[in-house]
Amino acid sequence: MLEQSACRSVGSLGNTITGLRALLRFLYLRRYTPLPLAAVPAVAARRAEASRTLSAGQVTRLLASCDRGTAIGRRDYAILTVLVRLGLRAGEVAALMLDDIDWRAGELVVVGKGGRRDRLPLPVDVGQALAAYLRRGRPRGECRHVFVHARAPYCAMGRWAVSHVVVRACQRAGVPELRAHRLRHGAATEMHRAGAGLVEIGQVLRHRHAATTTI
């Protein structure tokens, strides 16, 4: 576990520890081991990861790194804008369908964990970024996902491809390399700085429990 802690995130390490404890309890209860070895230390607090969010200036550089004169640049800019402004998860961005955008109502349907469907307001800048990509960047085809690969057969992007868009943008902008989920944390931080309460932030991020928002 000490070796793994040097190269894995807090969340990933916590999941591994939970599984390891369950395995050790199983071995003891089935008498494969003579002693209860399930006293695996807990993961340290998220102090290191909590600081890994981008400042407002860095976010501006991140968005500006996209060449919106190209189809890929318009796509990446739209992806980053959705992540930064709405705090969606990478998988939720990848799962967006064309029918999920209600242009008349100015809303976006997001399919989250457990198939939960939520309607979020569509900010003007997010709508403009999406419209620019759909009109002058998205390849035509039968795929109904919003974000597709730039090369044939123009299939839907997966969550890892969405996260890779963030990594490439960080490299271009010269900011600390982050994954897509860090932009979700950054969106929550910016809402808090702007005066939003935990209840409001939790509603935007669609948290089930207030304790999650507090973290």
How far apart CA 24 and CA 40 sit, in angstroms, is: 9
The average pLDDT across 129-137 equals 95
What is residue 100's predicted lDDT score, i.e. its pLDDT? 95
pTM of the complete model: 0.72
Classified as helix, coil or strand, 97 is strand
Whether residue 130 has pLDDT greater than 70: yes
Are 81 and 125 contacting, i.e. CB atoms less than 8 angstroms apart? Answer: yes
Which residues contact residue 115 at a Cβ distance below 8 angstroms, ignoring those fewer than 6 apart?
Answer: none
Tokens 């509603």, residue located = 203
The average pLDDT across 192-212 equals 83
| DSSP notation for 164-183 | HHHHHHHHHHTS----HHHH
What is residue 47's predicted lDDT score, i.e. its pLDDT? 45
Please, what is the average pLDDT of the chain?
86
Whether residue 6 has pLDDT greater than 70: no
pLDDT tens-digit series, residues 27-83: 888 989 888 777 777 766 544 444 467 788 888 999 999 999 999 999 999 999 999
Tokens 């607090």, residue located = 45
pLDDT class of 179 with cuts at 50, 70, 90: confident
Are 165 and 65 contacting, i.e. CB atoms less than 8 angstroms apart? Answer: no
The average pLDDT across 191-199 equals 84
How far apart CA 85 and CA 60 sit, in angstroms, is: 12
Whether residue 161 has pLDDT greater than 80: yes
pLDDT tens-digit series, residues 96-116: 999 999 999 999 999 887 778
